[in-house]
Structure 1
């Protein structure tokens, strides 16, 4: 927002964390990521559609408390459009490309190659369900995305072996 870009419409995605958010770290060791493979803009509507799709599928197969989804792309970039008239006699009313600075129509997340769009943590037993849920959510975005399995334990920064060793040591 700025003095030039007033009245920006609200983002469609409001909830970024879904599922069993309060689950302890030990409960969900497996993590699947949806990683962007192109430099692009993803609308807030697409992010919300993906979140809803993944959430519905996992709720059905794993249960409401069997996972934790985190949407990791945030839409801050304002999209504008120069509205054009398409009715009869529009050529007399419209100004064409004069004063063509558009009105805000929505917001989008600007993502890079290798940026994580969505992460899901769950139990090791529900790994195939998580992968399938992310695959279904992938269709809500344009461009290329990859599904990656994380080598880390849950949403922590520690690799699985190191985490298990630290847990045994009582750290």
Structure 2
């Protein structure tokens, strides 16, 4: 299987939305397995968000990598039922790639810019500036673990992020 193009090819929000899957054939499924994890029935007083600092497109494999990193750390530090974790964006944007032949004799095979629209290769989530990407709900004593989990998840994303306490700030000893 061919390797992925670098994210710099897709991260900017510079094209119109391309999301109508009913008209596009062969759109691959997003790699994100679960969007809500942890204890879904309990109420946690502290809500912490990972917020994007600029508009960007985040590919589905980056979202999955961030989810795995954060969920693994939260499970280790808080236990399986000690938190609730949610991915707040969904990869609707369809990404296309115009495959080019390389190597010896490629000029005889390649069509150049003829029929250059491209085939679907993946999906991405469009995120606005200030939009929450990930959210963690925890008890006040587990706030440092939630903060560290979001920091680790932010390392997997192609945008600088801020960690914002949305709810329960008065319960924390900062």
TM range (shorter): 0.7 to 0.9
Does residue 1:81 correspond to 2:100, yes or no?
Answer: no
Aligned to 1:20: 39
Aligned to 2:125: 109
Pairwise CA distance, 1:87: 2.5
Aligned residues: 151
2:90 is paired with a residue of what secondary structure? coil
1:98 is paired with a residue of what secondary structure? coil
User: Normalising by the residue count of structure 1, what TM-score does the alignment of the two structures yield?
Assistant: 0.84
Residue deviations 1:85-116 (CA, integer Å, cap 9, x gap): 11210001101111101000000001100100
Aligned to 1:32: 48
Gaps in structure 2 of 5+ consecutive residues: 1-20
1:6 is paired with a residue of what secondary structure? coil
Pairwise CA distance, 1:2: 4.3
For the pair shown, the structure with the greater C-alpha radius of gyration is: 1
Aligned to 2:106: 90
d(CA) in 2 for partners of 1:14 and 1:125?
29
2:121 is paired with a residue of what secondary structure? strand
Residue deviations 1:5-43 (CA, integer Å, cap 9, x gap): 2110001013100001111x2xx1011100011111001
d(CA) in 1 for partners of 2:163 and 2:134?
10
Superposition RMSD in Å? 1.5
Aligned to 1:67: 83
Residue deviations 1:109-150 (CA, integer Å, cap 9, x gap): 011001000000000000111001100110001121111111
1:118 is paired with a residue of what secondary structure? strand
Aligned to 2:59: 43
